Structure 1
Amino acid sequence: MTHDHNLPTRRSARQEALLLTGTVGVGKTATADLLGDLLADRGVPHAVIDLDRLCQAWPAPYGDPFQHRLLLANLRAVAGNYRAAGAQRLVLAGVAENTAERNAYQEALGMPLRVCRLTADLATVHTRLRTRHETDHDTASLPWHLRRAEELHLVLEAAGISDITVDTTDLTPAQTASAVLEATHWTDATTTDGHI
């Protein structure tokens, strides 16, 4: 989607971040990208951050298999740069398994954080994962993600740290992004001033 960067932008009264969390295969990254498009269409200064990309390094240190310490260090730097550039909304795609992780993200971001959990029934998630991994050369990847999907679903159910929940089972990614935007009310109290 293309955007006219000469259009007036909208400045919100406060900066805020939203973490799209959920099990693997539920649609976090696709939804985050499309939510960014919706915010741009409405002139809301924002940035989209894929948390997996901030910790995509090998090898992982002992005791930190998912590179969480590296993720937080990179998130602190990236979020600071986006805030300095005028972003009023930060949209994150990633996982927070508990309150401690949520709080760590908020501290690194330097702004209030809300959490939106995307859900879907596991049969739908497994179908999405099989489609995603159709061209994998690593035959172990799909079985690992299928197991992880169920495991993480249970972890997130028990954690109960989301402020918003959107069931994506019967929604397209575009419909999911629209539902998330409506739930956040992010465009309800903005003013157009022509500046980022």
Structure 2
Amino acid sequence: MDHPEVLLIGGRAGAGKTTVGWEVSDRLRAAGTAHAVIEGDCLGQVHPAPAGDPRRSSLTEANLTAVWRNYATLGYRRLIYTNTVSVLADAEGMFVRALGPGVRIVRVLLTATDATVHGRLSAREIGSGLDRELAGSARKSRLLDDQAPPDTVRVPTDGRPVPEIAAEILAVTGWSAAPDGAR
């Protein structure tokens, strides 16, 4: 594999991005398929936002570039990247700049109903952020529904087991064990 490949797993808060991303990773690991995982939210998690970068997009890109350079130096060519809006077309340039020209991008948008998201976030957000998370999740759901590019594969997560969702996503990527030892 000459060019890197990135699986972008996007979706509203509570759709299951992180959980599904780790399940995809676990299945690839079991198959002997080399890959890296990056939780995109962690790449720009600073407060306050850097001057001139209120959305932290420049910081996120700089960190993605640095981390990917380390992985690529070791021979890795597949990346699982989870982040709410990573599937949007305006994020594509960041992945081309960070991973290099010719990167193959696979977009998967996880979907979930308001009721499912409320249940998941209520279990996760035990502090003061639940109402803010629910409102932000609903807002991002509308944004993703309206702006996800046509090549984005939508995968519903309501009432489905995580392994089933991961298997569906892996079928979209075409990733499996690398018989030639390629990372």
TM-score by length of 1: 0.83
Whole-Å separation in 2 of the counterparts to 1:103 and 1:80: 16
Contact 1:45 1:86 in 2 (8 A): no
The amino acid of 1:159's aligned partner reads Q
Contact 1:44 1:88 in 2 (8 A): no
1:82 aligns with 2:71: yes
- How far the C-alpha of 1:64 sits from its partner, in A, is 3.7
More moved, 159-168 vs 41-50:
159-168
Q: Percent of aligned pairs with the same residue? A: 34
Aligned mate of 1:176, from 165, 171, 182:
165
- Number of residues paired by the alignment? 179
What are the within-5 Å matches in structure 2 for residues 40-55 of structure 1? Answer: 40-55=29-44
- How far the C-alpha of 1:41 sits from its partner, in A, is 0.9
1:35 aligns with 2:15: no
- How far the C-alpha of 1:177 sits from its partner, in A, is 1.4
More moved, 104-113 vs 84-93:
104-113
Equivalent in the alignment of 1:101: 91
More moved, 40-49 vs 65-74:
65-74
Equivalent in the alignment of 1:122: 114
The amino acid of 1:123's aligned partner reads A
- How far the C-alpha of 1:104 sits from its partner, in A, is 2.0
- How far the C-alpha of 1:16 sits from its partner, in A, is 0.7
Equivalent in the alignment of 2:142: 154
For 2:76, what is the secondary structure of its paired residue? coil
The amino acid of 1:144's aligned partner reads R
- How far the C-alpha of 1:87 sits from its partner, in A, is 1.4
What are the within-5 Å matches in structure 2 for residues 21-32 of structure 1? Answer: 21-32=10-21
For 1:192, what is the secondary structure of its paired residue? coil
Contact 2:9 2:82 in 1 (8 A): yes
Whole-Å separation in 2 of the counterparts to 1:43 and 1:148: 37
TM-score by length of 2: 0.88
Contact 1:106 1:113 in 2 (8 A): no
Whole-Å separation in 1 of the counterparts to 2:60 and 2:72: 18
> Which structure would you say has the larger Rg?
1
Q: Aligned pair in 2 of structure 1 residues 194, 72: CA closer, same or farther (>3 Å)? A: closer
What are the within-5 Å matches in structure 2 for residues 51-70 of structure 1? Answer: 51-62=40-51, 64-70=53-59
For 2:47, what is the secondary structure of its paired residue? coil
- How far the C-alpha of 1:14 sits from its partner, in A, is 4.6
Q: Aligned pair in 2 of structure 1 residues 63, 172: CA closer, same or farther (>3 Å)? A: farther
Q: Aligned pair in 2 of structure 1 residues 146, 65: CA closer, same or farther (>3 Å)? A: farther
Whole-Å separation in 1 of the counterparts to 2:125 and 2:96: 32
- How far the C-alpha of 1:195 sits from its partner, in A, is 6.3
Whole-Å separation in 2 of the counterparts to 1:150 and 1:195: 40
